[in-house]
């Protein structure tokens, strides 16, 4: 009987911890789901203030890091710093609170292909020619001194927030994302091994 009482007491002690653990799992699932929204859904959630740009952007950033470090997707050639995107997201939230959003895309996270110029970021087109000394030697990467027209309109004028630059075939010469000599072939997390490269834009979405 004493043993039964002890087991019952232990069970009671475990309930709050289990509940907290379940709540934590539910929260992580909810946050992860944010990174799976379409552009239209993200805009709606931001404009209705159901979520903040900071919440959305940080979750997308964490998913990008997870994809590169844990899943080895090779989806990105460059991921912007956490501090950079956090500063931009908070500025976007302040504009929205003040009713001064730049556009419907203000605060929405985006990624851009590595052959499109973004000021002060690597412009490599996934090529050895523009990336002379390997992936991590930033000093020898071609850094763009200017924005392309599309990035100026999207990032500066409209207020979208750049998560990173995505991998591609070298100089765009290919269609399956398999010809990226520096960063490696892109993997599609939704496909089985051997069936990775099924998208014209490469395996990353």
pLDDT digits (tens, 9 = 90+) for 142-186: 889 999 999 999 999 999 999 999 998 888 887 677 778 878 888
CB neighbours of residue 51 within 10 Å: 17
For 118, residues 6+ apart whose C-beta sits below 8 A from its C-beta are 112, 144, 147, 148, 151, 155, 162, 165
pLDDT digits (tens, 9 = 90+) for 70-105: 988 889 999 999 999 999 999 999 999 999 999 999
For 156, residues 6+ apart whose C-beta sits below 8 A from its C-beta are 147
pLDDT higher than 70, residue 64: yes
Give the predicted TM-score (pTM) of the model. Answer: 0.75
CB 112 within 8 A of CB 80: no
Supply the mean pLDDT for the chain: 79
Report d(CA 19, CA 196) in Å as an integer: 39
CB 202 within 8 A of CB 166: yes
């Amino acid at each position: 009987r004493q043993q039964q009482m002890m087991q019952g007491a232990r069970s009671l002690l475990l309930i709050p911890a289990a509940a907290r653990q379940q709540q934590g799992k539910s929260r992580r699932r909810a946050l992860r789901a944010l990174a799976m929204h379409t552009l239209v859904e993200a805009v709606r959630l931001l404009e209705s203030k159901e979520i903040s740009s900071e919440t959305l952007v940080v979750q997308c950033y964490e998913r990008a890091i997870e994809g590169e470090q844990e899943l080895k997707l090779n989806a990105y050639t460059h991921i912007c710093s956490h501090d950079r995107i956090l500063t931009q997201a908070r500025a976007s939230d302040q504009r929205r609170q003040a009713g001064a959003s730049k556009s419907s895309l203000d605060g929405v996270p985006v990624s851009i292909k590595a052959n499109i110029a973004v000021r002060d970021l690597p412009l490599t087109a996934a090529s050895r020619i523009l990336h002379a000394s390997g992936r991590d030697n930033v000093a020898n990467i071609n850094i763009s001194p200017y924005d392309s027209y599309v990035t100026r309109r999207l990032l500066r004028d409209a207020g979208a927030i750049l998560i990173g630059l995505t991998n591609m075939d070298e100089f765009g010469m290919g269609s399956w994302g398999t010809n990226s000599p520096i960063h490696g072939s892109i993997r599609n997390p939704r496909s089985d091994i051997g069936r990775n490269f099924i998208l014209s834009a490469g395996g990353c979405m």
